[in-house]
A and B are shown apart, each in its own frame.
Chain A
Amino acid sequence: MLDIQNLQVIFGTGRLQVQAVKNASFHVEAGESYGLVGESGSGKSTVLRAICGLAPISGGHVRVDGKEVTTPRGKAFYRTIQMVFQDPYASLHPRHTVDRTLSEPLAIHGVKDAETRILQALREVGLGPSFRFRYPHQLSGGQRQRIAIARALILRPKVLLLDEPTSALDASVQAEVLNLLEDLRHKMGLTYILVSHDLAVVAHLCQRLLVMRNGESIEETTSAALRSGQASNSYTQSLIEASQGFSRDAPQPASSLAT
């Protein structure tokens, strides 16, 4: 479905040049859920943004269904791949009602039965028609993220790029959104690429994942391996340990981790 090879992303020029992604390669099968894990500055979100055209592809290949993507991406691309952003407070237009937010993609792509599609989209993400004319400030964080998911799904894409979809939410709301995402994937046969700093979230939603650090892929592993604590790379190992909570017994030398 999606094939990324030696992807490079470079921002700026000259002295201000930043190599956000140095080298990343992975392959995602149709219907699969793939995870990208790393800390801030690892370039995991930039990979997503490069796939959908929000960041430049400076080197390497991004292929969707075997075809190299074009810049700028065409409308057909956006009907295939959609994205959900991290912060539901920033990803909805503050002056647009839910109705307007959901009807915009339909209007852009000239979809006819907007009325039924909007109501259906709301139903799919577990919200009733009473939410249709609300403004974002009348919604909770979890409800906003559901609207963002509904917006991404309303064009019936095959691939959903999820950029930390639950990290701005409370734990109990996170559980609801994760369940919803899993449910939708099974029902619609979607392909996910999930970016997160939280190993547990990635392991919950994905079968395979790529650990990234400083713009490079460190290792590709499976969530089963993570669960059993197997990691060939010491950095992955330290991420696993840190995700278990604070521990007084094993003080690590600070210099090995901070960069």
Chain B
Amino acid sequence: MTKPLLEVEDLRVRFHLRTGTVEAVRGVSFQLGRERLGIVGESGSGKSQTGRAILGLTPPPGEVLAKRLTFDGIDLLTASKRTLRTLRGGRISMVMQDPKYSLNPVMTIGEQIIEAYQAHVKASRAEAHDRALAMLEAVKMRDPGRVFALYPHEVSGGMGQRAMIAMMLVTEPDLLIADEPTSALDVTVSMEILRILDEFVSERGMGLIFISHDLKLVSSFCNRVLVMYAGRVVEELEAKHLREAKHPYTQGLMRCLPTLADDVHPLPTLNRDPSWAL
């Protein structure tokens, strides 16, 4: 890996509200190659805002600042709207938590994948159609032909999320940002979804940012993990070395989860040190 795919340096996301300015992300820096990077944190840690800022999807009163925010050499902060549009959905894609809200309810799944494809790739309708079918097959949809003609409300949560992933990956992006892609799904289904994402990363060399609150899941799935707290990265470590985490917050997060392996009563709780947020 010579050049990182995504470089983020001192990323800040600010929201100017009537009551004052709130900084949701406060100086996050990381680099991403063609690998799986996990961003873990509890609600309000700024993990989702980090993912959104990269894609330029920060909601209106928000302001994104960074010393450096480049994707494959393209500066995402100064790039024109046009460039951003072609990048977004083309070379960078995002999968959200709940497929129910991310899919258009009045379009069939197949149509949506075709539309996503034709928005970025010049292709005939027939080509796009074949491509969409192939994509549905790639995400392990049984009977892709039937799913193609279904509307989002006619499929289960797991199928919907697979359709969403098919739509996001049909343009073969270099980078996928997955924001809690499996939190709304059952465990067994989410394992399948992860397996599909895993294949895309290892076979097509895609970069993946996996945002989740689930430390256990992230550490078993990703290569590297960023632990965020109050808008900052408090610790960055290799997933396999998670057990040797140094920061008390990471340690606390690890310990406070009940596990099948050991039976601790009462569970250790997390004493938040105000200095972590400084």
Contact = CB atoms under 8 A, between A and B. Distances in A.
A pairs with B: yes
Interface in A183-240: 183, 197, 199-201, 203-204, 226-227, 229, 238-240
Contacts of A199: 260
Contacts of A203: 258, 260, 263
Interface stretch (B25-33, B79-87, B106-114, B186-194): B186-194
Interface residues of B, number: 39
Candidate in B189, B216, B260, B263 with the most chain A CB atoms within 10 angstroms? B260
Contacts of A111: none
Interface in B36-56: 42-43
Interface in A140-166: 141
B217 A246 contact: yes
Contacts of A258: 142, 158, 188-189, 192
Interface string B115-157: 0000000000000000000000000101000000000000001
Contacts of A171: 42, 213-215, 253, 256-257
A141 B267 CA distance: 19
Contacts of B142: 254-255, 258
A40 B41 CA distance: 25
Nearest to A238: B188
A40 B258 contact: no
B194 A246 contact: yes
Interface of B: 42-43, 140, 142, 157-158, 186-192, 194-195, 198, 213-217, 219-221, 252-253, 256-261, 263, 265-270
Q: Sorted from nearest, which 8 A-B pairs have the closest CB atoms?
A: A245-B220, A204-B258, A175-B256, A39-B186, A172-B270, A170-B42, A242-B187, A179-B266
12 contacts: A40-B186, A170-B213, A172-B42, A172-B270, A175-B258, A201-B258, A227-B263, A239-B188, A246-B220, A246-B221, A254-B195, A255-B142
Interface of A: 39-40, 141, 170-176, 178-179, 182-183, 197, 199-201, 203-204, 226-227, 229, 238-240, 242-248, 251-252, 254-255, 257-258
